[in-house]
Amino acid sequence: MRIQDLPYQDPGVPDARSGPRFLWWLGRNQLGGQFKSLAWGLLHFTSVAGLPFCVGFAIEAVVDRSGARLALAGGLLALCGFAVALGDTFLHRTAVTNWITAAARVQQVLARKTAQLGSALTRRVAAGEVVAVSTGDVEKIGWFVEAVSRFTAAALTVVLVCVALVVYQPALGIVVAVGVPVLALAVLPLLPRATRRADVQREKAGRATELASDTVAGLRVLRGIGGEDLFLDRYRLASQEVRHAAVRSARMWALISGIQVLLPGLLMIAVVWHGVGLARDGRITVGELVTVYSAVMLLTYPLRHFDEIAMAYSFSRPSAKRAARVLSLERATDTEGSREAVAPSGDVYDPATGLLAPAGCLTAVVCGDPDAAGRLAERLGGHAPEKSTSVLVGGVPLDELPLDAARTAVLVQDKDPVLLSGTLREHFDVPASGEVTAEEALDAAQCGDVLEALAQGSLHAEDPLDARITERGRSLSGGQRQRLALARSLITDPEVLVLDEPTSAVDSHTEARVAQGIRSLRAGRTTVVFTSSPLLLDLAERVVLIRDGEVAAVGVHRELVHKEPQYRAVVTRETDEEAAMDSGPRGRKATLSDVLDELEEIEETA
């Protein structure tokens, strides 16, 4: 795989059962790149390790006054130098390619999972954790994947050099062959503690990232209530905790690095001391002593990769664990599906609550608990909890539909919709039936003032649809963002449209016009609106009260206001004392519906 071939046409199905299994899956999918990196790594490291033998051969030639052997040694040195440069160049190239392609694969599977889960992702995983996985964690995972081949090449080189030294000069080679494994394994007892400290650091960093993300997302609200200083102090505290954890982790890695420097030095001292004694006794030559000494000195270069792979694994393991946790999340329905990809039509029925939304009707759902309303809207969108009965659309369970067909059948607009940066035209470039134009959707959502504001802010946009929206629509008010998101949902014109509090951020006059626009544009289409607004409820053809997770009452708004105290308490925001006074007609507090009914009776009597 080459970098210019990215992105992958199919990144594959990750093994998300655990962090190590996920890392193994990544490595298994890059065997070609790993073998290339291993081959160039072997060329580079063995060429470096071959330099001492060439130097020793040259010294022997000088001692023996052999010009031919000295010239041969010079040629071998030049060849080794060329191989070192060539191997190092292509080792770096292939290793970086492995890193980038591994990171790209992780990002693609994360993006696919995000698209699959939709808004349900941030309900199951903190937004800060998703940000940490898709940014810093991706880099650390890629680092480990690209370090594996270099470590393997370094380990094989160390083994080859030890064997060569034993064959070349057994008296000193045995000392090296025994000492090098000790060097490589000496830091193993420290790795668990270093890994734990690295885990603590990554955990605290993830919390700090989550806090920063939440603070930035709610900065407008924080400024409105004067709470930015409070959150800034919280972030400072979290940042200091990350710093302290990073220092503790760095101390342990510094100790490991110090041991990696100290022990090779002790081995070189032992080799020189023993070699000098052997040279005095005439058992080895000066060239052999220089060869063994130089080989031990240069072995510290590949041995550094033992330290690197330990550090890379320690940092990538918690990152891979977090990535696997996100990737293991599943839509509660079968993503493959057992039916053809045809969007069903008909009544919407939720067996868990008993909610029925007849086809072609505007159904309003009233829940006393906003969180319960959000969970029910999520169920209607096909993101039901595991081992839960699926919602039926036209008698067809959503969990038997492929994801594309389920999304064509049902569209859920969250209560806090997100606007992406770009032009308004790009904002409305969404999969749609084509029967609803952008102008009709904008008119129904009462976006005239929004278009004017965008046109004034974009001097170079002749058409308001070409005006740019800033990141997350921060330049717009909450009501303007909400209406643009509603227009986007109306353009898609799905079989079933589920709106969760679509007018909670607009004034009552605009809300009344938006309610009428939704009813007119969605005439003959199934629409479910979660709301407690009397203006929307009065226009709904069917109103359902959900209480304690079940349908408590069904009717129309004016009927339920008169007959259902629980419904009236939610819609009119009555207190418990006020609700207790509503036991009879005379004790009931007058509502807008009561006034309208009395006026109609007066007109009929007159």
> What would the DSSP string read from start to end of 534-564?
HHHHHH-SEEEEEETTEEEEEE-HHHHHHH-
- pLDDT score for 335: 45
More confident call, 34 vs 128: 34
More confident call, 344 vs 247: 247
pLDDT, tens digit (0-9, with 9 covering 90-100), for 345-386: 789 999 889 999 999 999 999 987 888 888 888 888 877 665
**Same domain? 274 vs 404:** no
Q: Cα-flanking dihedrals φ and ψ of residue 472, to 5°?
A: 60, 20
More confident call, 509 vs 576: 509
HEC letters along 158-209: HHHHHHHHHHHCHHHHHHHHHHHHHHHHCCHHHHHHHHHHHHHHHHHHHHHH
Mean pLDDT over 333-340 rounds to 48
| Coil, helix or strand at residue 335 | coil
- Exposed e or buried b for every residue in 551-583, given b needs 16+ CB within 10 A? ebbbbebbebbbebbebbbbbbebeeebbeeee
Work out whether the CA dihedral 251, 257, 263, 268 comes out positive or negative. Answer: negative
- Provide CB contacts within 8 A for 449, sequence distance 6+: 480
If you count them, how many residues does the chain have?
Answer: 606
Of 298, 327, 356, the last residue of a domain is 327
Tokens 């009927």 belong to residue: 559
**Same domain? 297 vs 371:** no
Taking CA atoms, 268 is separated from 176, 188, 259, 280, in Å, by 9, 21, 14, 18
Residue 335: inside a domain, yes or no?
no
Determine the straight-line distance between the first and last CA of the chain, rounded to whole angstroms. 86
**Same domain? 396 vs 506:** yes
Q: Which has the minimum average pLDDT: 115-119, 302-306, 481-485, 561-565?
A: 115-119
More confident call, 169 vs 130: 169
Q: Which of 29-38, 134-143, 201-210 has the highest mean pLDDT?
A: 29-38
- pLDDT score for 599: 45
The CATH number given to whatever domain includes residue 491 is 3.40.50.300
Q: Is the pTM of this model over 0.85?
A: no
Distance, in Å, from the CA atom of 151 to the CA atom of 498, rounded to the nearest integer, reads 54
Do 571 and 578 form a contact (C-beta atoms < 8 A)? no
The CATH number given to whatever domain includes residue 302 is 1.20.1560.10
Q: Which of the four pLDDT bands, split at 50, 70 and 90, describes residue 197?
A: confident
% of the chain exceeding 70 in pLDDT? 85
pLDDT, tens digit (0-9, with 9 covering 90-100), for 255-284: 888 887 788 888 888 888 888 888 888 888
Q: Which has the minimum average pLDDT: 28-37, 219-228, 290-299, 442-451?
A: 219-228
How much of the chain is in helix, strand and coil states, percent to nearest 5? 70, 10, 25
Taking CA atoms, 60 is separated from 57, 286, 388, in Å, by 5, 8, 81
Mean pLDDT over 129-145 rounds to 80
**Same domain? 260 vs 360:** no
Does the structure show a pLDDT above 90 at 43?
yes
Mean pLDDT over 133-151 rounds to 85
More confident call, 401 vs 447: 447
Q: What residue spans of 8-30 are helical by DSSP H?
A: 19-28
**Same domain? 280 vs 393:** no
Mean pLDDT over 494-502 rounds to 91
Domain that holds residue 264: 7-327
Do 343 and 354 form a contact (C-beta atoms < 8 A)? no
Residue 564: inside a domain, yes or no?
yes
Residue 340: inside a domain, yes or no?
no
- Mean per-residue pLDDT of the chain: 81
How many other CB atoms are there within 10 angstroms of residue 586's CB atom?
A: 5
- Number of folded domains in the chain? 2
**Same domain? 446 vs 486:** yes
Taking CA atoms, 48 is separated from 37, 87, 339, 543, in Å, by 16, 10, 61, 79
pLDDT, tens digit (0-9, with 9 covering 90-100), for 110-124: 888 887 776 667 667
- pLDDT score for 181: 82
